[in-house]
Amino acid sequence: MNMRICLAALLVPALVVPAGAQTLADRLKEGYKAWDVALERGDSASVRRSTEGLLQREALGVGTSDYNEMRALVAVQDYAARACVQEGAWEDAIAHLQKAAASAAENLAATEGTFSRIRKDHEVKLIEWRETITKQEQRLKDLEAQSGLTEEHMKLRAQIRGFLDEHRSAIAHSEWSLKEIDGLLAQLRKEKETYSASLAGWQDFLAREKQEVAQAGDSPKFVAEKLEQVKADDARPRYDRLAYGRRLLRLDPGNADCKRFVNGLMGISDEPEAPAKPVKPAKKKAPKKG
């Protein structure tokens, strides 16, 4: 099973932080490209060290009121889970995935609570501004219907037009803000659903693996049978085959065939280098007889 949950783009503006302070979102932006490259080449160990170290240092400092930081937290937890999957440490991957799913759910709940108040304020203002605009438009219409406008009337007309422009601009901004709120909440809702589904899928996957090991009788027998399937399924991406090969090697560390398979995927040769031939000393020429 492939666990490639795409990193959600952090498009929404970050909340205000002190000048010079580096957020978890900043660290994620600095590191995720290197993590992607490392996972692509199979170097899951370095990604796991980096992400787990970052989570250990930063996770407790992330406030639930900052949806950008919470999304960054979920993303780093996702990378840690993916690294564990590639290492074959699937129980550890599920532990990270549980935290990612919980963080995503918490982020949605907190953001919905905050944005519901903001949304209500926008909706109240929109009603108020639209009613005001309707009245002022009628006032402008009545004014322009008069013949021979005085200087005072023309001044009033300019004021009403300026007033209408300002309020129409405010309405457009509020309508844009409501769309942004709806878009962000839709993304957070999708993240929550995605991680919940992925967690359930992996938990089920591991439960089935446990059953298959029991049916095989022991881990070595299960690994020997499963390895042949993995080797034959060469249409699967290298990431998946490497993750499965390492998983089988964890279940049966003594399986030499499995080790060769994993080394082959990593481009590591198992053939020992031929020992260098000893250099024979040059024969000394016998001195010529006089």
For residue 67, the Cα-to-chain-centroid distance in whole angstroms is: 14
Q: How far apart are the first and last CA of the chain?
A: 86
Which pLDDT does position 15 carry in this prediction?
Answer: 39
Helix or strand holding residue 284 (H, E): none
180 falls within a domain: yes
Which two tokens mark 202?
């992996």
56 falls within a domain: no
Same domain, 224 and 176: no
Residue 61, CB half-sphere, CA atoms under 13 Å: how many?
10
Which pLDDT does position 22 carry in this prediction?
Answer: 81
- Whether 227 and 249 have beta carbons less than 8 Å apart is answered as no
Which pLDDT does position 149 carry in this prediction?
Answer: 80
Q: Distance between CA atoms of 244 and 65, rounded to whole angstroms?
A: 39
Which pLDDT does position 146 carry in this prediction?
Answer: 84
Count of domains for the chain: 2
110 falls within a domain: no
Same domain, 185 and 244: no
Closest among 140, 175, 170 to 158, alpha carbons compared = 140
CB atoms within 10 A of CB 204: 11
Which two tokens mark 163?
């007033």
Domain range for 237: 217-265
pTM: 0.79
pLDDT tens across 170-194, in order?
999 999 999 999 999 999 999 999 9
131 falls within a domain: yes
Same domain, 180 and 241: no
28 falls within a domain: no
Q: Distance between CA atoms of 186 and 197, rounded to whole angstroms?
A: 16
Which residues does 83 contact at the CB level (< 8 Å), separation at least 6?
Answer: 35, 39, 44, 45, 47, 48, 51
Q: Report in angstroms the alpha-carbon separations of 160 from 57, 127, 136, 145, 170.
A: 57, 19, 7, 15, 15
Helices 238-251, 67-87: crossing angle, 10 deg rounding: 60
pLDDT tens across 259-285, in order?
999 999 999 876 555 555 565 655 555
Residue ending a domain, among 152, 174, 189, is: 189
Same domain, 182 and 237: no
Q: What angle do CA 88, 89, 94 make, to 5 degrees?
A: 120
Q: Distance between CA atoms of 24 and 14, rounded to whole angstroms?
A: 11
- Residue type at 83 in one-letter notation: A
Residue ending a domain, among 189, 208, 229, is: 189
Which pLDDT does position 2 carry in this prediction?
Answer: 37
| pLDDT tens-place values along the chain, 290 residues long | 334 333 333 333 333 444 446 899 999 999 999 999 999 999 999 999 999 999 999 988 898 889 999 999 999 999 999 999 999 999 999 999 999 999 999 999 999 999 999 999 999 999 999 999 999 999 999 888 888 788 888 899 899 999 999 999 999 999 999 999 999 999 999 999 999 999 999 999 999 999 999 999 999 999 999 999 999 988 999 999 999 999 999 999 999 999 999 999 999 876 555 555 565 655 555 555 54
Residue whose pair of structure tokens reads 């589904």 in the numeric block: 197
167 falls within a domain: yes
CB atoms within 10 A of CB 183: 12
DSSP state of 61: G
Which pLDDT does position 282 carry in this prediction?
Answer: 57
DSSP state of 65: T
Same domain, 181 and 223: no
224 falls within a domain: yes
249 falls within a domain: yes
